[in-house]
Structure 1
């Protein structure tokens, strides 16, 4: 039975925090995952036995019941009655304690539950990060000076979307020409990601201004931050994937109007912002059945999976595929889609926790990256090897890809998470008559026609259930540095989303 314990310190007195948390319906005002919530049967929100029914911003509906509440101990407990995921027998407890050195509060959030063994890693991370850590961050933001100034109702509108459509944000306090954003003032580590106020110019010819609801995080953002890719010249705002609503259109823009829901996965950088002005030509109009979180979790990663599977290597039924980083954002979609196309998928992961995620998302076999992967692939294929290897790791794995390849096989190197790629010995490829591809996202999804083709295939795959996104973490935009650290230390699973 998984048991999860998370804690944090809030810069506010315990009485103030408890006043918020003892209201069993207050999560709608501070938790970024909650779209709306009500207490059933008009019971008081602090009555033991009260049931709250709430809808997530992703669309799921849950019912939870308050089991205990103690004003003396500043603690409460509750259980899940109904949920869209198998958190069986889920019981959680919240405890607050005053911190001795100042008006601060120690908050501990814990739970225990049962679930199918193959989903334990996924659900543990969902609760620990998507519920607890996101909740901590949400309440801290609500209690910040800006959050206090908004008031309860305005904070709710500012933070959370409804039914996949973004809610209006408050008017920027320093004028419509400014917004909050993450800025890189010099290339470097995650610490260079600074929360600040930036200008938002009005849309010029061929441009639109967006108010963003969700921002996608990708490893290319790390490369831009460090200067490995020269797409961001400091000072600048990183990010290449986002979803939002059009606020204004510039001269010459056709087919788009204020109020339209759109997404994008392209240069120029600038996604890590509440609002931005950008070229309109590569925006994707979002269908009503694709919610904001799904779009932000899949546009860049899903279009990458589309061209990797359909155009870089046109995968055929019966082929054997190796997917490195099979529990990562692109890896999860690659594995699912390749399996749906009739391939046998062998996933490579960095930990046992990630192995469960890979198995649950299309991998017929899962191997540890610390083992002899090439030998195991040869064993699983009866000595023939894999027809194609999709490798986003780079320096640590390309050398061994050849050893696991079938004759006339294909190595597709589309990332370098482990560091700069070493020069390739082309003569060595003759050992297996191997092909090597190094695709560039912009060359496959760099024109409006390519974007229409790729996004249409992706949306159809989502509708048919061939792929489903895994959102491993949902963090406030101001915590972008934490998202980057998780990518770089390889602790992230699935997609990471930032909420402006």
Structure 2
């Protein structure tokens, strides 16, 4: 029995590579040795048991059957039923694994078979080099320039594209937001132009609009996250193609537009199981939950978590994920309706009120001990109670300031409980491309597994962005808000 094994790294996300390889008839598009191919009896090309009949460019004919297919493990197995080549008992397996240092994929391809006596070396070379190594290079070429899709590459001097966007005419309240005609320039080297299909609304947009975070100089568009479709890519962009479904969450602001050009390194390809609206609601808030739970404070089973604004966009994700990690979750909300929503996603105890008095209730819910970690997106209003609500040697994580910025903290006050204080920023974590892809993948995987479930109740037309801001600041919303261009 002959065994042939080859491996390669493909410079593309695993979702894109698997989308091609799971189609049992796709090899006619990317493998240089295939002349023509068809699935027999009109069966779907990803149906286990289907048979593909194809002709090689040298004239040989082969019939192969799909034996197994696993989307969860990115594995497919197939065998040769009959062939003009003297390959007997041929069984092959394709397996993909995610490379952790970027948007790349490890591809392992192996087979076992028998060959005529004296021709073992010939067929080992044929399979190893002609089929496997040739296939690796063929797929790389296909992913760089998808057949049938012209590879549109922009240039810095190319034409701009007319669009509309929401601009902060000056710093101030929601009334400063205006819908204006804008232009999205052609992508230069390392850039991508995207047509947005859904745009996320986040509290950081409020900070920027008010001038609390000086990330724009009015008049300028707001927005930090969106999902959409790639229109063109600039020179040097290898991980994206026109037509790809993508999403991003990054600075500088500028997402409240129909079409946007930005650095391609900020953009990730969406897996099939994440739709555009979910992606626009997930990228910033989901990755915030990811770094809070897995990086800033690595949550352990049995710990007690206090989540402020537990029915907000980030809060609902934090509660679900923390519960899945085995934590006891206590949440604060402003209304009874929000309390019901917080309980649905896993809060063991919910504290209702608008006066930011919660420390005693937290101690009551924890037999006097307090919370091991507090995830605080409120800022100033909750500060006076957080230390009282914190357990000895607890961790106070301040990741937002919806009620205003924190005043200077007393080191002596922290010392009274040997407490740890953190003030993390998402974009510091995602500045590294490898970390960004790892964080996004963990969020997408949590959605696939059911750990994270989204309920998008608040959709606004792009022109109604000011109303979305009023509702968000007025604490009239539950969960994520999105704008529809």
Partner of 1:420: 405
TM-score with structure 2 length normalisation? 0.66
Distance in 2 (CA, whole Å) between partners of 1:303 and 1:384 is: 30
SS in 2 for 1:471: coil
Which residue of the partner structure matches residue 257 of structure 2? Answer: 273
C-alpha RMSD of matched pairs (Å) = 1.1
Work out which of the residue numbers 190, 193, 204 in structure 2 matches 1:220.
204
Q: Once structures 1 and 2 are overlaid, which stretch shifts more, 361-370 or 269-278?
A: 361-370
Larger radius of gyration: 2
Q: Is the 8 A contact 1:282 1:447 kept in 2?
A: no
Q: How does 1:247-266 map to 2 (within 5 A)?
A: 247-266=231-250
Task: Tell me what 1:203 maps to.
Answer: 187
Alignment match of 1:324 (pick from 293, 305, 308): 308
1:364 paired residue number: 348
Q: Distance in 1 between matches of 2:438 and 2:192?
A: 22
Q: 1:335 aligns with which of 313, 319, 323?
A: 319
Is the 1:329–1:470 contact (alpha carbons within 8 Å) kept by the matching residues of 2? no
Q: Which has the higher mean CA deviation after the structures are superposed, 395-404 or 312-321?
A: 395-404
Following the alignment from structure 2 to structure 1, what is the Cα–Cα distance between the partners of residues 252 and 236?
19
Name the TM-score, length of structure 1 as normaliser.
0.64
Equivalent residues of 1:214, 1:296 under 8 A apart: yes
Does the 8 Å contact 2:160/2:185 carry over to 1?
no
Secondary structure class of the residue paired with 1:203: coil
The CA deviation at 1:371 is: 6.8
Q: Would you say 1:485 and 2:465 are equivalent positions?
A: no
Q: Which among 426, 444, 453 is matched to residue 468 of structure 1?
A: 453
Match of 1:307 among 291, 300, 310: 291
2:416 paired residue number: 431
Q: What residue in structure 2 maps to residue 297 of structure 1? A: 281
SS of the residue corresponding to residue 189 of structure 2 reads coil
SS at match of 1:208: strand
Number of equivalenced pairs = 326
Q: Distance between the aligned counterparts of 2:307 and 2:336, measured in 1? A: 16
Shift of 1:491: 1.2
**Helix, strand or coil for the counterpart of 2:265?**
coil
Q: Secondary structure at the match of 1:348?
A: strand
8 Å Cα contact 2:356-2:385 kept in structure 1 = no
Correspondence 1:393-404 to 2 at 5 A: 393-404=378-389
The reply to whether residue 496 of structure 1 matches residue 461 of structure 2 is: no
> C-alpha distance in 2, partners of 1:347/1:201?
44
User: Partner residue of 2:331?
Assistant: 347
1:229 and 2:213 are equivalent in the alignment: yes
For 2:356 and 2:298, the matched residues in 1 are separated by: 29
Q: Distance in 2 between matches of 1:316 and 1:232?
A: 39
Question: Equivalents in 2 of 1:380, 1:255: separation in Å?
Answer: 49
**CA distance in structure 1 between the partners assigned to 2:421 and 2:407 by the alignment:** 14
Unaligned runs of 5+ in 2: 1-158
Question: For the Cα contact (< 8 Å) 1:243–1:295, is it kept in 2?
Answer: yes
Question: SS where residue 477 of structure 2 aligns?
Answer: coil
Note if contact 2:356-2:382 (Cα within 8 Å) is conserved in structure 1. no
Aligned partner of 1:119 in structure 2 is none
Distance 1:470 1:333 in 2: 11
| Shift of residue 387, structure 1, vs aligned partner | 0.3
Alpha-carbon contact 2:379-2:402 (below 8 Å) kept: yes
Q: Aligned partners of 1:177, 1:405: CA distance in 2, in Å? A: 52
Quote the offset at 1:234 in angstroms: 1.1
Cα distance between partner residues in 2 of 1:308 and 1:314: 8
What is the SS of the residue equivalent to 2:435? helix
Counterpart for residue 179 of structure 1: 163
Q: Which runs of 4+ in 1 moved over 6 A?
A: none
Q: Distance in 1 between matches of 2:327 and 2:264?
A: 37
